[in-house]
Amino acid sequence: PPLDADHPLASGRTAASPLVRAANGQRSERLPVWFMRQAGRSLPEYRAAREGIAMLDSCLRPELAAEITLQPVRRHDVDAAVFFSDIVVPLKLIGEDVDIVPGRGPVFANPVRTPAEARQFAARVRARAEDPTLFAPIDEAVRRTVAELGETPLIGFAGAPFTVAAYVVEGGPSKDHLRTRTLMLAEPDAWLELADAIAQLSGAFLEAQVRAGASVVQLFDSWAGSLSVERYRASVKPSSALALARVHALRTPTGDGVRTIHFGVGTAELLRDMHDAGADVQGVDDRIPLDEASRRLGGTVPLQGNIDPAVLGAGREVREAHVRDVVRRGFDAPAHILNLGHGVPPEADPQVLTDLVTFAHTLRGDVPPE
Ligand code: CP3
């Protein structure tokens, strides 16, 4: 079925926002800017709201998740909210034993290592992924959030199959995801079952957020940069494409689609293949300039990025010169969503982020800076 008639895109509330327009390849006078991990430990109001509540528990309390999602919008005047959740929340919802350890990241009690374990895991995931009640707390949190957001779009997100698998297989954060990469080489059939099952669950998570009111979604393949182009193409891209296709199948009652962003770290060599997986906007980290990224994509793809998070700790002059340079290079693409090259570091000064948004809004989205 189509999206509800009162969906923010369908009712026109967010369709003309600078962010949604950029995702459609159109430039606006206002340059859209938001930050990955804008909701989180850099904000004192976030730390206060989370006091004594475990990360994954906070994601499953709709009122709290909505409040945390709205905090950076109120504080920084960013052009989008990003839903407060995590890439492992869908696995928590289907009953997997996963925890997010502060300062470390997602940890799975029963890592998936053998082909038999991969197949059992995939079967568990597929048995639950389409349960219509699975995402009830997500549905409620998103509805509460968009009711407060007005014309500001909400970005939903999910983890791409490889990045989620890099936690499921390793059992926790790892440097080079060696076991995961070994599984895909040694047991390609079991790997594909695992990756496609995660794609189905991440796709269902994305669809739940869009149906509840998200206007754009981002697929995070944060760790794809540890793969060769050949391995990405053969073992990862098809599953990521499945998750994205699920969103592209959705329509407003008047037939408009929902735009997608695809992001990974250290993916300069993968940009073209990541784009081929089907997203509308390519996210770019800070290791490659946007003009070069655009060249690699044939100059036709809207880009998101790529302020070096390290500049948040530098003085105002250095910071603003860097942001101006990023924005100037972004004019080589048809449209640009300004963002960091990766998430906001927890130690970032929130006032610096607010000032950065103010500065970005003195530049224009439709005319290059000097
Ligand atoms: O503001 C936002 O960007 C929305 C919220 C968001 C979170 N996780 C909340 C969170 C998003 C988009 C994510 C995605 C996510 N989670 C990714 C992909 C994005 C990326 O950063 O590359 C990944 C790899 C994860 C897995 C994960 N979850 C990690 C590595 C960590 C950090 C662990 C730590 O404590 O340093 C988490 C926990 C997490 N997810 C936090 C937040 C706000 C920190 C939890 C806390 O406050 O203790």
pLDDT digits 0-9 by tens, 55-81 = 999 999 999 999 999 999 999 999 999
CA 15, CA 270: separation in Å to the nearest integer? 30
CA 296, CA 303: separation in Å to the nearest integer? 12
Q: Which protein residue has the closest C-alpha to ligand 1 atom 11?
A: 86
So what's the pLDDT on residue 56? 98
pLDDT one-digit tens code per residue, 194-226? 999 999 999 999 999 999 999 999 999 999 999
Range list of β-strands (E), the chain: 81-82, 98-101, 105-108, 154-159, 216-220, 259-263, 281-283, 303-307, 336-340
The band of 242, judged by pLDDT with boundaries at 50, 70 and 90, is very high
37 Cα–ligand 1 center, Å: 7
Place of tokens 């530049």: 363
Question: What's the whole-number mean pLDDT along residues 172-185?
Answer: 98
CA 223, CA 79: separation in Å to the nearest integer? 26
43 Cα–ligand 1 center, Å: 14
Q: Is 39 annotated as a binding residue?
A: yes
Residue 92 contacts residue 134 (beta carbons within 8 Å): no
- CA–chain centroid gap for 80, Å, is 12
The band of 370, judged by pLDDT with boundaries at 50, 70 and 90, is confident
Q: Is the dihedral of CA 11, 16, 19, 20 positive or negative?
A: positive
Residue 154 contacts residue 213 (beta carbons within 8 Å): yes
From residue 83, give the alpha-carbon distance in Å to each of 59, 64, 129, 140, 144.
10, 11, 20, 12, 11
Share of residues in the chain with pLDDT > 70 (%): 100
- Please give the order of strands across the beta sheet that includes 81-82: 81-82, 154-159, 216-220, 259-263, 281-283, 303-307, 336-340
* Mean pLDDT of all residues belonging to the chain: 98
Q: Is 0.80 topped by the overall pTM?
A: yes
The band of 276, judged by pLDDT with boundaries at 50, 70 and 90, is very high
Q: Is 119 annotated as a binding residue?
A: no
So what's the pLDDT on residue 313? 96
Q: Which protein residue has the closest C-alpha to ligand 1 atom 13?
A: 86
Q: What is the DSSP string of 265-323?
A: SS-GGGHHHHHHTT-SEEE--TTS-HHHHHHHTTT-S-EEEEE-GGGGGS-HHHHHHHH
pLDDT one-digit tens code per residue, 22-42? 999 999 999 999 999 999 999
The band of 278, judged by pLDDT with boundaries at 50, 70 and 90, is very high
Instruction: Say if ligand 1 is within 6 A of residue 219 CB.
Output: no
Range list of β-strands (E), 93-165: 98-101, 105-108, 154-159
pLDDT one-digit tens code per residue, 105-139? 999 999 999 999 999 999 999 999 999 999 999 99
* Residue 296 falls in the annotated catalytic set: no
Place of tokens 């607010």: 354
**∠ Cα 70 244 82 (to 5°):** 10
* Residue 167 falls in the annotated catalytic set: yes
Instruction: Say if ligand 1 is within 6 A of residue 270 CB.
Output: no
Other C-beta atoms lying within 10 Å of the C-beta of residue 327: 22
| The CATH number of the domain covering residues in 18-360 | 3.20.20.210
So what's the pLDDT on residue 84? 98
Question: What's the whole-number mean pLDDT along residues 167-196?
Answer: 98
From the list 79, 86, 273, 285, the catalytic residue is: 86
Q: Which of 28, 6, 7 is nearest to 19 (CA)?
A: 28
Instruction: Say if ligand 1 is within 6 A of residue 36 CB.
Output: yes
Is 349's pLDDT higher than 90? yes
6 Cα–ligand 1 center, Å: 30
Q: Which residues contact 7 (CB under 8 A, 6 or more apart)?
A: 211, 213, 252
